[in-house]
């Protein structure tokens, strides 16, 4: 007995309204690229790259640089390869489907790790040590990492992701201190704005919300509705509680 499956063109679209896979505005991204491109790096390593939008922009800004993006999501990597080809960057960038745990792909002049420290370790401290190992002396790490803007209540935690705990994140000052202890100095500290968060979270769901409104009787509608409603409740709960820091880190000499 076979089970009917929906044709691929009948499935909800995936993340087409997102430019970056995180709360990042065009203005902030442009400033980051200018800062990272200043020293004219020769190599870029993107950990948990997704489709690697910021890496591709940095490669465009630094024509001599080569890049490698590492991720385990094949669909995102394919999107990255297509974007690289469309921008004439295919010969300077590689999107690799593999785990970043213990990766031997460094050291690199620039290491990007945007909302993806868990790709290196479930614990932030060893993840920071790995980033120090992966960046060349004189290089830069751009780390995007969550932090608590205030301690969440138990009721708020219960409405976030499964198993959410107050220990899942640090406050911003502690986060920066941990980066310093791991062998960095913070060149630049900035945090995602509420507008950036709202644009990201809305765009994250928008395609599928519109699809669901037009396809309420689709076989995938019940599970899609549950997923959307669960995620919306979570982000409207952590809105203003969970922050995202963007730390441009320079390694201390060892």
User: Distance from CA of residue 201 to its chain's centroid?
Assistant: 13
Judge whether residue 7 has pLDDT over 70. no
Q: Which is nearest to 179 in space by CA: 150, 140, 138? A: 140
Three-state SS at 177: helix
Lowest mean pLDDT among 1-10, 32-41, 54-63, 183-192: 1-10
DSSP conformational letter for 107: -
Strands 242-251 and 135-148 turn out to be: antiparallel
Q: Which domains does the chain have, with CATH numbers?
A: 23-150+165-192+241-251 (3.40.50.150)
Q: What is the mean pLDDT of the chain?
A: 95
Question: How would you class 47 by CB atoms within 10 Å of its CB: exposed for 0-12, middle for 13-18, buried for 19 or more?
Answer: buried
Encode pLDDT of 111-153 as tens digits. 999 999 999 999 999 999 999 999 999 999 999 999 999 999 9
Encode pLDDT of 147-203 as tens digits. 999 999 999 999 999 999 999 999 999 999 999 999 999 999 999 999 999 999 999
- State how far the alpha carbon of 191 is from the alpha carbons of 42, 152, 157, in Å: 27, 18, 21
Lowest mean pLDDT among 6-10, 157-161, 208-212: 6-10
Between CA 52 and CA 58, with CA 55 as vertex, the angle to 5 degrees is: 155
Does the N-terminal peptide bond of residue 107 adopt cis geometry, omega within 30 degrees of 0? yes
Residue 4's pLDDT is 39
Cβ partners under 8 Å of residue 217, min gap 6: none
Judge whether residue 208 has pLDDT over 90. yes
Cβ atoms of 143 and 131 closer than 8 Å? yes
């Amino acid at each position: 007995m076979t089970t009917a499956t929906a044709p691929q063109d009948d499935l909800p679209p995936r993340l087409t309204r997102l430019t970056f896979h995180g709360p990042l505005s065009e203005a902030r991204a442009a400033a980051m690229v200018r800062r990272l491109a200043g020293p004219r790096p020769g190599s870029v390593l993107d950990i948990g790259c997704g489709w690697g939008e910021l890496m591709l922009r940095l490669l465009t800004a630094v024509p001599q640089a080569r890049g490698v993006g590492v991720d385990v999501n094949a669909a995102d990597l394919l999107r990255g390869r297509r974007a690289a080809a469309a921008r004439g960057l295919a010969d300077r960038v590689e999107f690799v489907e593999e785990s970043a745990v213990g990766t031997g792909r460094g050291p690199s002049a620039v290491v990007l790790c945007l909302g993806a420290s868990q790709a290196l370790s479930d614990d932030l401290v060893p993840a920071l040590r790995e980033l120090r190992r992966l960046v060349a002396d004189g290089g830069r790490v751009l780390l995007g990492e969550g932090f608590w803007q205030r301690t969440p209540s138990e009721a708020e935690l219960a409405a976030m992701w499964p198993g959410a705990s107050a220990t899942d994140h640090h406050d911003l000052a502690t986060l920066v201190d941990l980066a310093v202890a791991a062998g960095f100095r913070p060149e630049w500290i900035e945090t995602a704005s509420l507008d950036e968060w709202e644009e990201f979270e809305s765009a994250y769901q928008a395609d599928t919300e519109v699809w669901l409104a037009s396809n309420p009787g689709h076989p995938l509608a019940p599970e899609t509705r549950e997923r959307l409603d669960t995620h919306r409740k979570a982000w409207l709960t952590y809105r203003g509680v969970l922050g995202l820091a963007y730390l441009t880190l320079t390694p201390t000499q060892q």
